[in-house]
Amino acid sequence: MTPSMQGHVTSMVMEIIDCLPALTESFEPFAPEARPGDRLLDRYADCISFDDHTPGVNQKPYLDELIVKARADPLMVLAVDRPVPHSSSRQAALAAIIYKGHTELDRTRYVSGKVTMPNAELNAIAAAIHSAIRQADCHHIMVFTDSLGSARWAVDPSVHSGQAHSLSVCHVLTYAGIFMEPSTIM
């Protein structure tokens, strides 16, 4: 692209040229959590599931059924969202709410910075899981999110954008003792 055209084009791709030297995300290609056989999904595949059911236009009855199931079990329910502004001059925020039964235990809000939507959702999931693990009697977790890809990334320690969040989720789920008894992460 010619320099004269660059002045008329604004996007995250064009802005990256200016901030590339200041980027601080680091990657760990040889993280202990990423070794084959030691990965969270390798060790606890029967305890982690993803509900990729697409209920169609009217998803309220399906979601109501999931909420009834979640509230009947002593389950930590995490609801996460990440509104990312369309303007490149604003930063993304994330929110997470933690319920156990009918009781709200925690409500979290953070500024995520200038990130892509999947990375903001991954950040929200990681923050919610860390908050849930700090609660007493956390043995089962169900995460409600509109980004199934970010939910899968949360337990995937391989090299990808946002790997630090994934590594922290894998670490806290492995060492917090949540998998000592039959558990489920959805």
| Spatial separation of the C-alpha atoms in residues 38 and 26, rounded to whole Å | 21
Write out the two tokens for 7: 């002045």
Name which residue leads in pLDDT, 21 or 26. Answer: 26
Q: In 114-186, which ranges are E strands?
A: 141-144
What percent of the chain is modeled with pLDDT above 90? 8
- CATH class, 28-175 region: alpha beta
Phi, psi for residue 63 in degrees, rounded to 5: -70, -35
Question: Quick one: how far is CA 17 from the chain centroid?
Answer: 27
| Domain residue ranges in the chain | 28-175
Instruction: Report pLDDT digits (tens) over 25-46.
Output: 778 888 888 888 888 888 888 8
Contact 57, 122 (CB under 8 A): no
What is the reported pLDDT for 36?
A: 86
